[in-house]
């Protein structure tokens, strides 16, 4: 077994590998860029080596620097994690040549599966179901239309070297096939330097289901059940679960056996994933093989009780698999939510900055210890006070739960999201909460088009309706009553001016445009020492028991005998006196006051925000890559004004109306904050 390994990655996956290595008694070496010098993975590792500047092409993607770090520290093996160099055949071959073990498959397996056209031919030879299509590179758009007609619409036009949703179009007729081929080819040439494009049948109501496989260097290969990954936004997975609520045992067995056949055909050794697209009648077709550890591997660990990182390390060290196909378990139901640094209410634009607060829900399951079951686990590479840089992926944590069945897993995940505190940056937690509450998701009736269909106009606050909005008002009244009691207990108050506690409160829920809603709450009973209160809102009574303190962001307790976790904070951007209450993805800002004060508050005029239509503002923190206009220039609505880059995404900004540029406020190469002015119009 290795004595020391280097992790050629960053963030949560680097921390995840370190946890297993520590369990196995293996020393670890972290690598980091200048942007990551204070990062969590650097602090967790036994040693750390600086690779270079923040951009990954100058640090995490430079194979020479990683090989040099291995030699300098005496690391005998490299774990590449996912992304960066994890599926780079040249890097795997180079490690082997330098006498460094690559904790992953051999270079020839990566090469065979990395090319979509070559991998499809291999799959055919291994008798794996493949989608009807034309597998050779297509030369002209006319030929593409001819082939598409032959296969039958709809068809999918894909770049051979594509990935992450780039170089992919769906065509339903000749015109779309012609245009789709041309744009797909251009996109592939610009993104990957490889303009080969192929066409295949588009499966209607498709589900994305993948099989986890594990192979060793002695020819043994097994499959570890499936993962359901159909909840995707723009080809990026959002929620993953294991097992799938859709496929039958017979389909599972058939898919697993085909995945094993394909892995054996390329002499695969390590953990890998064979991805399938599954139609509404459970017809399944090979999509691609990921020759690395997947982001969503924890859900498989939960239901099988295996540590996949440990298995990878043991295989790389030449050990035989210790289990057979008959030993593979399928216990309970697991789910994973990807927690991303992005603002769901601003079309999921990246959100960077400092994590002012970062508190995970209480964990009962841990990385590298699959013996713990039926609980909550958080895989993350960040910590409170840390900086979320603009240079890398937006995923900052993975929230994983394991339940006895699917409904139990959903309930656990909803409660865990309630207890996940992130402040300083925006996160997609409200969106995840909305998805988990959606009736179609709960019933398991979804496919890869679920988010595009149900959130076609983007995501708005009203897309997260609370099942009991009066509970949020009762909770605000509970917190206010608690603070009044503390204020009344302060000594030295002047006679006649002492704080009166009172039993009647008006909760003013602040609306976006001054359209506030008033809710009357009456506190029938309050016992501060025991944290017990009975609060009446309309016809409903909420018996709340909570020992959380006033300065706690999270409130844990029971309401009418049922446990709950909610988040309450004082002071908001709109009003420093307001309370912000958050539960089940819904967030309200409320002022809690006496009924008389509420009457007076209604008389206050609404102060409308300033008109910013003359300005082009930065919608997110990021790097200003380009400014396309100059002072005095006439600009038409829809014309490109600037380009901002953050978290591997480029966002073009367009003029909302016709106008003349008065001045360009920000300059190219500048780091921008949210709502910073870039261009002003006359």
| DSSP-assigned states of every residue in 264-281 | HHTT--EEEEEEEEE-TT
Helix, strand, coil: what percent of the chain each, to 5?
30, 35, 40
Q: Tell me the two tokens of residue 311.
A: 């298995």
Question: Which of 79, 323, 320, 338 has the alpha carbon at shortest distance from 217?
Answer: 320
Q: Which residues pair with 525 in a beta bridge?
A: 534
Respond yes or no: is residue 288 known to be catalytic: yes
Judge contact between 385 and 38, C-beta under 8 A: no
| DSSP-assigned states of every residue in 452-498 | HHHTTT---GGGS--S-HHHHHHHHHHHHHHHHHHHHT-S-PPTT-S
CA 222 to chain centre: 29
**Phi-psi sector, 227: left (phi>0), alpha (psi -120 to 50), beta:** beta
Contacts of 263 (CB under 8 A, 6+ apart): 213, 215, 221, 272, 274, 289
Judge contact between 397 and 408, C-beta under 8 A: no
Contacts of 330 (CB under 8 A, 6+ apart): 225, 243, 303, 304
Given the structure tokens 């699959």, which residue do they identify? 370
**Phi-psi sector, 235: left (phi>0), alpha (psi -120 to 50), beta:** left
Q: Tell me the two tokens of residue 648.
A: 């591997």
Judge contact between 223 and 303, C-beta under 8 A: no
Q: Which of 89, 176, 187, 288 is catalytic?
A: 288
Contacts of 221 (CB under 8 A, 6+ apart): 213, 214, 215, 260, 263, 264, 268
DSSP state of 432: H
State the CB neighbour count (10 A cutoff) for residue 395.
22
Residue 14: phi and psi, rounded to 5, are -65, -45
Judge contact between 162 and 195, C-beta under 8 A: no
Q: In 330-433, at which residue ranges do the beta strands (DSSP E only) sit?
A: 333-340, 342-343, 349-350, 353-354, 357-359, 376-380, 387-388, 395-403, 421-423
H or E stretch including 152? Answer: none
Judge contact between 511 and 501, C-beta under 8 A: no
Residue 286 DSSP SS3: strand
Contacts of 147 (CB under 8 A, 6+ apart): 134, 138, 199
Q: Tell me the two tokens of residue 366.
A: 């841990």
- The CA angle 20-22-25, to the nearest 5 degrees, is 115
Cα torsion 137, 140, 143, 145 to 10°: value is 110
β-strand pairing of 207-215 with 221-233 = antiparallel
Q: Tell me the two tokens of residue 630.
A: 């100059």
C-alpha distance from residue 327 to each of 210, 227, 254, 263 (Å):
20, 18, 18, 19
DSSP state of 316: H
Which residues are identified as catalytic? Answer: 288
């Amino acid at each position: 077994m290795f004595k020391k390994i280097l992790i050629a990655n960053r963030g949560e996956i680097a921390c995840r590998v370190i946890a297993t290595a520590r369990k196995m008694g293996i020393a670890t070496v972290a690598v980091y860029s200048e942007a990551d010098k204070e990062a969590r993975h650097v602090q967790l590792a036994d040693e750390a080596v600086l690779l270079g500047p923040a951009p990954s092409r100058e640090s995490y993607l430079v194979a020479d620097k990683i090989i040099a770090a291995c030699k300098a520290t005496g690391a005998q093996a490299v774990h590449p994690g996912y992304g960066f160099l994890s599926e780079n055949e040249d890097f795997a071959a180079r490690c082997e040549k330098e006498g460094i073990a690559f904790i992953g498959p051999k270079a020839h397996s990566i090469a065979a599966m990395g090319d979509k056209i070559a991998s499809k031919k291999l799959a055919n030879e291994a008798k794996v179901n493949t989608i009807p299509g034309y597998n050779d590179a297509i030369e002209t758009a006319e030929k593409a239309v001819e082939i598409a007609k032959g296969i039958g619409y709809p068809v999918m036009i894909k770049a051979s070297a594509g990935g992450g949703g780039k170089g992919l179009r769906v065509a339903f007729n000749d015109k779309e096939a012609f245009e789709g081929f041309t744009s797909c080819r251009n996109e592939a040439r610009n993104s990957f330097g490889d303009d080969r494009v192929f066409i295949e049948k588009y499966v209607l109501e498709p589900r994305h289901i993948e099989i986890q496989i594990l192979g060793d260097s002695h020819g043994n290969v097994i499959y570890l059940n499936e993962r359901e990954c159909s909840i995707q936004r723009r080809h990026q997975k959002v929620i993953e679960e294991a097992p799938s609520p859709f496929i039958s045992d017979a389909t599972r067995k058939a898919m697993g056996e085909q995945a094993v056949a394909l892995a054996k055909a390329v002499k695969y050794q390590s953990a890998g994933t064979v991805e399938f697209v599954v139609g509404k009648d459970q017809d399944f077709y090979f999509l691609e093989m990921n020759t690395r550890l997947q982001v969503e591997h924890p859900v498989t660990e939960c239901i099988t009780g295996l540590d996949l990182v440990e298995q990878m390390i043991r295989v790389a060290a030449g050990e035989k698999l210790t289990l057979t196909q008959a030993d593979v378990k399928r216990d309970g139901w697991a789910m994973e939510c990807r927690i991303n640094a992005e603002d769901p209410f601003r079309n999921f634009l990246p959100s960077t900055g400092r994590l002012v607060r970062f508190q995970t829900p209480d964990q009962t399951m841990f990385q590298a210890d699959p013996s713990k079951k039926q609980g909550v686990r958080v895989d993350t590479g960040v910590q409170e006070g840390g900086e979320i840089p603009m240079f890398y992926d937006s995923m900052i944590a993975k929230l994983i739960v394991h339940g006895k069945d699917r409904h139990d897993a959903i309930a656990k995940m909803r409660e865990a999201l309630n207890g996940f505190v992130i402040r300083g940056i925006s996160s997609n937690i409200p969106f995840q909460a909305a998805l988990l509450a959606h009736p179609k998701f709960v019933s398991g009736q979804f496919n890869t088009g679920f988010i595009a269909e149900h959130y076609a106009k983007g995501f708005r606050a009203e897309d997260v309706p609370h099942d009991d909005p009066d509970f949020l008002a009762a909770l605000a009244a509970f917190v206010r009553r608690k603070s009044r009691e503390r204020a009344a207990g302060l000594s030295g108050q002047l006679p006649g001016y002492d704080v009166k506690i009172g039993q009647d409160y008006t909760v003013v829920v602040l609306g976006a445009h001054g359209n506030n809603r008033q809710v009357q709450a009456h506190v029938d009973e309050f016992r501060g020492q025991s944290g017990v209160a009975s609060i009446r809102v309309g016809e409903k009574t909420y018996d709340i028991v909570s020992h959380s303190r006033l300065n706690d962001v999270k409130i844990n307790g029971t309401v009418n005998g049922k446990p709950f976790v909610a988040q309450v904070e004082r002071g908001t951007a709109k009003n420093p006196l307001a309370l912000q209450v958050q539960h089940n993805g819904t967030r309200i800002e409320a002022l809690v006051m006496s009924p008389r004060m509420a009457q007076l508050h209604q008389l206050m005029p609404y102060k409308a925000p300033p008109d910013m239509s003359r300005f082009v503002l930065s919608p997110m923190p990021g790097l200003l890559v380009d400014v396309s206009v100059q002072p005095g220039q006439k600009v038409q609505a829809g014309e490109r004004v600037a380009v901002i880059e953050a978290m591997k995404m480029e966002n073009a900004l367009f003029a909302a109306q016709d106008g003349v540029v008065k001045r360009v406020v920000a300059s190219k190469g500048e780091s921008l904050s949210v709502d910073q002015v870039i261009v002003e119009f006359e």
